[in-house]
Amino acid sequence: ETGVTQSPTHLIKTRGQQVTLRCSSQSGHNTVSWYQQALGQGPQFIFQYYREEENGRGNFPPRFSGLQFPNYSSELNVNALELDDSALYLCASSLDWVVNSPLHFGNGTRLTVT
Amino acid sequence: GQQVMQIPQYQHVQEGEDFTTYCNSSTTLSNIQWYKQRPGGHPVFLIQLVKSGEVKKQKRLTFQFGEAKKNSSLHITATQTTDVGTYFCAGLNYGGSQGNLIFGKGTKLSVKP
């Protein structure tokens, strides 16, 4: 089975720009969650998608938005980038959020905002 | 809001010594999960604890969930250099969706050979 894949691996953007990060979930998983991990911190929950609908959101502003596609892959979009958005963005898929199955993380996208 | 605290933040041990990290939640949890993140890597699921007072073992790793379901611990016996990494606990509130795990800040373990 293929694991969770994220692209790109690294990205450098300028403050005020917009960015789109992509994630392919593990085969058979219908739930995708996005996390932001600042250096030296634990992952912080951004939002979760289940069958193309957002079904949970953390304490992030509306300029963080997402999509899930029929094949369960997902995108994270961030508008009006700020310096504090520099972090590792992790996508995690799970078998089904209803049964509390474990999260399978991708390798992440390292975003640097200058 | 809910907080999950982990101590210590860092732990340096000599290979062969034991290691313990503690996790405390401000609210009662429905379950707690533990993840390990190697340097430069991504978090990898280790285990999930659901029942009050539950104890689970994986070779040299022992995981406990407190009776009140507000705290947990991970104990590693006779550490090896392969144990190096950051260990995170992640708690799920009752009624919370799986993605809305609240992660602690982690305990970074270094092992001196």
pLDDT greater than 80 at residue B102: yes
A31 in contact with B at a CB cutoff of 8 Å? yes
Residue of B nearest to A4 (CA): B42
Give the pLDDT of residue A101.
80
CA angle B69, B75, B81 (to 5 degrees): 145
Residue B109 β-bridge partners = B11, B85
Residue of A nearest to B43 (CA): A105
A66 in contact with B at a CB cutoff of 8 Å? no
Question: Is-contact B43 B35, C-beta < 8 A?
Answer: yes
The Cα–Cα gap between B84 and B108 comes to 8
Neighbours of B26 (CB within 10 A): 12
Count of CB pairs separated by less than 8 Å, A with B: 71
> Is the Cβ pair A56, B96 closer than 8 Å?
yes
Predicted confidence pLDDT, tens digits, chain A (114 residues): 579 999 999 999 999 999 999 999 998 888 999 999 999 999 999 999 988 999 888 899 999 999 999 999 999 999 999 999 999 999 999 887 666 688 999 999 999 999
pLDDT greater than 60 at residue B97: no
Give the pLDDT of residue B63.
98
Give tens-digit pLDDT for B3-52.
899 999 999 999 999 999 999 998 899 899 999 999 999 999 999 999 99
Which residue of A25, A88, A103, A109 is the best one to mutate when testing the B interface, meaning the one whose CB has the most B CBs within 10 A? A103
Q: Collect all residues of chain A within an 8 Å Cβ-Cβ radius of residue B33.
A: 102-103
> Is the Cβ pair B103, A42 closer than 8 Å?
yes
Entry field: residues in chain B: 113
The Cα–Cα gap between A52 and A72 comes to 7
CA distance B59 to chain A (A): 20
Residue in B33, B88, B102 closest to A102 by CB: B33
Residue of A nearest to B34 (CA): A102
Question: How much of chain B exceeds pLDDT 70, in percent?
Answer: 93
Question: What letters, b where the CB count within 10 A reaches 16 and e where it falls short, cover A5-42?
Answer: ebeeeeeebeeeeebebbbbbbeebbbbbbbbbeeeeb
Question: Is-contact B19 B60, C-beta < 8 A?
Answer: no
> Is the Cβ pair B98, A48 closer than 8 Å?
yes
CA distance B36 to chain A (A): 11
Question: DSSP labels for A8-66?
Answer: -SEEEE-TT--EEEEEEPPTT--EEEEEEE-TTS--EEEEEEETTEEEEE-S--TTEEE
